[in-house]
Structure 1
């Protein structure tokens, strides 16, 4: 993937420029239309790549600059989903949202993100990562009036995601990441069919595959939920043993300023770990030493050659300047630990 030691990578979204979409807002409507919007999205993606280069990020992402939302933008390109027929559902058993409705058989008639991925590939010689929603998180962001079975719809989405992932790989994507925050909520489903559908989505890929499981964006509904979780957040205890035995290459988790016991990482020993060392629920920019402290603590439970310093989650709701400074802090903290490990080896 990359020759860098402790390669840094953002998990998902970066804030969009204020001329493209409303700042610090999820599902923010576009401020441009037609050809201007298409050009504006590419300009924003180009800018996101430039900032990652400038701040020393090793594995470059698109920052989700061309999509409104990490789940619904993929779903809206599929057939069988009616975005005019909306219903209110409980998202991840946490907050209510107006979502589209599955009214028929779902299918992908043409690639969704492949052209955007090709554009990203043309902007950098560094490894690139592309995020897709995972099957369980997709069904949790919809009202299903057709299949009436969470599992059946998840298997359908897994097949569609695999089609997209194979084309992203052909477009030059090095890491394909599936976002599954729902894995921190629906533990029985994760065991019964969640990991299996995720493996179906990743089936046959030569690119590295990652699953990202977090406690959500730094929005009020998520921070309020976290406040109810007590002194230890042990949700990963349910999914990590299953993922350790899975075909996925990388597990991405929220760590910094969380109450996740660090020793839970031992449960995925042998996998690569994309460790969240940047808090996306705070405007305070971490110091390099704070990032380094998080990475040092994790190294007791993950081998250094399998550690990828990262962010806890996407940063779309943050002020743009804050998010970019956090990327700089991520790199600086990784540099501290790289130097320490190099000194020990010499």
Structure 2
């Protein structure tokens, strides 16, 4: 038998690209030179993933500022003082704030997909940000002349267009990044905020057919940035029942970094619906130690004790550099972990087939 395996998204940017971004910001190189560096990084990322045997590739988010803020490129109705996301090591990330309406995307994922497909010879997966994450852009105090309800209506339209553009553009799968799900339980342990986030995501997914939703997945993890997380301390089993209420066909769940994977897997098995497949994380991007293929194999076989192999796949726990300036993991380490995932998944498939 075979088991599917997919990357989550981001690969650390090369030192040459990071230097070029800094040079462009300082006015030392022009936009054409920077675009050339982006193109080189994109081509190299896809070629390397393919050389490692990855049956599905991503663009490594080489040209995105972050997994979260790509739709905001060029918008002039944002202020810098939005919601703050604290991480366990004390550092924070701050979102912008919508200052006036209407809300529209400045860039769409289909543009990234088209660029990646120019170089890929295998299927390409496209990551998009969730409507629930972007809902955090709206401030607590209402925007004059643009209510939260109007914003959410516009947001749902924009996210639908983003996902549909990627599907129509030939994406193998479209992955909705939903890392704020677990974090919401830190803000509201009752789960009320989480339920509202799931409801908003389902508003978007209701606009797609069953066959389209089979190609739409949801990724969850406790956040990953600069070798730290924002919600690993939150009980995973409090999130999972709500996660599988999202009306998507595929789920990508962080697992390698969990202290009690059997407890998590048992909860997944209880709540995974018959029309859903789950990809379990078998490599931990935050751990600097590269997993061996044997370790990956054993993690897969452990998952198969709880989940039927025909509904199982593997992935990395999270992207390796969801924010473009994150250099905590080297590009070489990320690719080594991808190799271990691909080879270890193949070993597990052989064991399960036997």
The alignment status of 1:262 with 2:265, answered yes or no, reads yes
Choose 302-311 or 56-65, whichever is displaced more: 302-311
1:82-121 to 2 correspondences below 5 Å: 82=78, 85-87=79-81, 89-91=83-85, 96-108=92-104, 111-121=107-117
Tell me which of 271, 284, 295 is aligned to 1:290.
295
| TM-fit CA distance, 1:33 | 4.0
Distance verdict in 2 for CA 1:98–1:90, change over 3 Å: closer
Supply the distance in 1 between the matched residues of 2:86 and 2:155 (Cα, whole angstroms). 18
1:140-289 to 2 correspondences below 5 Å: 140=136, 143=139, 146-147=142-143, 153-186=151-184, 187-191=191-195, 193-202=196-205, 203-204=207-208, 206=212, 208-219=215-226, 221-222=228-229, 225-226=231-232, 228-229=233-234, 233-243=236-246, 246=247, 248-259=248-259, 260=261, 261-266=264-269, 267-270=271-274, 271-289=276-294
Distance verdict in 2 for CA 1:11–1:324, change over 3 Å: same
Alignment RMSD (CA, Å): 2.8
Supply the distance in 2 between the matched residues of 1:279 and 1:136 (Cα, whole angstroms). 25
Match of 2:122, SS?
A: coil
Match of 2:283, SS?
A: coil
Match of 2:297, SS?
A: helix
Supply the distance in 2 between the matched residues of 1:324 and 1:144 (Cα, whole angstroms). 41
**What is the TM-score with the length of structure 1 in the denominator?**
0.84
Distance verdict in 2 for CA 1:181–1:153, change over 3 Å: farther
Distance verdict in 2 for CA 1:241–1:164, change over 3 Å: closer
Unmatched 5+ residue regions in structure 2?
185-190, 322-327
Supply the distance in 2 between the matched residues of 1:20 and 1:166 (Cα, whole angstroms). 30
Is 1:88–1:96's contact at 8 Å kept on the other side of the alignment?
no
1:8-47 deviations in whole A, cap 9, x for unaligned? Answer: 1111100111111169xxxx85756411222221221111
- Alignment partner, residue 310 of structure 1: 315
Q: Which has more strand, going by share of residues?
A: 1
Is 2:109–2:127's contact at 8 Å kept on the other side of the alignment?
no
